[in-house]
């Protein structure tokens, strides 16, 4: 269930499907594999929307998914028409044969990610599994409504959930497995990831991939 997931850096995730390769928030990548069929961006902060890294992963015919509130960014990134899917919180769509749901991603008690911005986490259905990539969020009602097999959640604190908050969220939604992200680079450390894993409820497989 976790063997097709790579956490590349910070909050940058790669999902390898049987037919499609999906990147979420490519950032700070050392190589240029040009293997992405689909690129998802959760919001416009530099460590999530990186034009340089999008170019490193996109291959001819790749498609982009953005929050609808960031739709104006698409043209500058070279995407449009059938190569672009814009989602609002709670919205659903499919592109390149991949089903995607938008989940509101925001801070409840911090100013960095206002709910009014319409920024997103995503549930991606791939390989017959539902992967939830939470984006830069706190523990919210919308996040707790997610149904998924695998949850990839931020643990670095400061701008997002910390290890304790992330574990509380995951323990509430009860995925089969959970992976910590958003640490080790800009904010957070491996200790945060290990603390998160230690707090997971029995029956939830936890693994650090970064």
CATH of residue 114: 3.60.15.10
Give the separation between CA 122 and CA 11, rounded to whole angstroms: 13
Kindly report, residue by residue over 36-92, the tens digit of the pLDDT: 999 999 999 999 999 999 999 999 999 999 999 999 999 999 999 999 999 999 999
Cβ partners under 8 Å of residue 146, min gap 6: 103, 121, 123, 132, 173
**pLDDT digits 0-9 by tens, 88-107:** 999 999 999 899 999 999 99
192, 134, 25, 119: CA torsion to nearest 10: -130
Into how many domains does the chain fold? 1
Q: Give the C-alpha separation, 28 to 184, whole Å.
A: 12
pTM above 0.85?
A: yes
Range of 74's domain?
5-206
Q: What tokens does 79 get?
A: 């995407």
């Amino acid at each position: 269930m976790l063997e097709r997931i790579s956490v590349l850096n910070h909050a940058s995730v790669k999902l390898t499907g049987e037919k499609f390769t999906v990147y979420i928030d490519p950032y700070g990548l050392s190589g240029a594999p040009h293997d992405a069929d689909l690129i998802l961006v959760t919001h416009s902060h530099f460590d999530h929307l990186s034009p340089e890294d999008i170019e490193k992963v996109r291959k001819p015919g790749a498609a982009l998914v953005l929050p609808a509130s960031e739709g104006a960014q698409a043209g500058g990134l070279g995407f449009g028409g059938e190569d672009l899917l814009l989602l609002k919180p709670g919205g659903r769509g499919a592109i390149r044969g991949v089903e995607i749901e938008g989940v509101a991603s925001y801070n409840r008690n911090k100013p960095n990610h206002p709910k009014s911005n319409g920024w997103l986490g995503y549930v991606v259905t791939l390989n017959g599994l539902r992967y939830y990539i939470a984006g830069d969020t706190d523990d919210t009602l919308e996040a707790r409504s997610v149904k998924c097999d695998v949850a990839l959640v931020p643990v670095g604190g400061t701008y997002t959930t910390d290890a304790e908050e992330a574990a509380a969220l995951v323990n509430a939604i009860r995925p089969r497995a959970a992976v910590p992200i958003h640490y080790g680079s800009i904010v957070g450390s491996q200790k945060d990831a290990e603390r998160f894993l230690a707090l997971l409820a029995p029956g939830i497989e936890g693994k650090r991939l970064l």
